[in-house]
Amino acid sequence: MIDPLFSLSGFAVGVLVGMTGVGGGALMTPLLILLFGVHPATAVGTDLVYAAITKTGGSVVHGFARSVDWRVVRRLAAGSTPATLFTLFVLSKLSLHGDAARSLVTVVLSLALFVTSFILVFGQSLVALYRARMSSLDPRRTALVTVLVGAMLGVLVTISSVGAGAIGVVALLMLYPQMPMARVVGSDIAHAVPLTLIAGLGHWGMGAVDWHIIGSLLVGSLPGIFIGSYFAIRVPERALRLVLATTLFVVASRIAYEHAGAASDMITAFTRRVPN
């Protein structure tokens, strides 16, 4: 059965994704947690599988348009794949539906949302400043840093489902200043497919994916993305990004505040186990 409330939420998120290009994880995961009361670990796992499905379509489109640099995708995947598998192994040692996993997910999710909101406002300025000071990079160093960025994204996305969009794009713009924007976005989306797929399957294996929610979200989000893409050129991008960044900042603050006590208890329990 399709839940109309989830479909409506998927449509709203799809419209915003189509208009801003910001990854659905930054919007969908907090929505599932705060509005529908879904456990943070289940919200992350569900969004990862949902993202793998939706980003596959975007990757196919960019592939046919030849706007994917597969060399960059391989470098990112070389870092993200082992990092994702290692993170899944660590998560498997926790009870994903317990308090420890809830605290870990919410802390990392809040941090990722804060970073995403900052990038939405200051990302273009940071890239311009970086390019003004770094006219060229050593190719070997660029390749190594790309792998490290992939590893960072692997950990971040596996725990919070956030980061493969805005954070990944800004990192690639800094590392490959001569690459056209369409190719940067296409490469980032293509890399997000195996990343979210591996992470999503890992969460599914640990029982943290709700397929009923995924089906309902897809019914609403797919037409939402199409409509949002159509209106993208008709809405001031700067104003929309400011509103979206403010929303993410408020949501991240609320998640951090609501789960601050649980996170503090987790840290206290961990420090007690560590010998002096």
Which pTM was predicted?
A: 0.84
Spatial separation of the C-alpha atoms in residues 241 and 190, rounded to whole Å = 23
Spatial separation of the C-alpha atoms in residues 124 and 121, rounded to whole Å = 8
The ranges of the chain with pLDDT < 50 are 269-270, 273-274
Give φ, ψ of 179 to 5 degrees.
Answer: -80, 130
Length of the chain: 276
**pLDDT at res. 270:** 44
**pLDDT at res. 272:** 52
Spatial separation of the C-alpha atoms in residues 200 and 107, rounded to whole Å = 19
- State the amino acid at position 39 in one-letter form: H
Q: How many other C-beta atoms lie within 10 A of the C-beta of residue 247?
A: 17
**pLDDT at res. 261:** 57
**pLDDT at res. 133:** 72
Domain spans in the chain, listed from the N-terminal domain onward: 4-273
- Alpha-carbon distance values, 245 to 203, 215, 228, 239 (Å): 28, 28, 17, 10
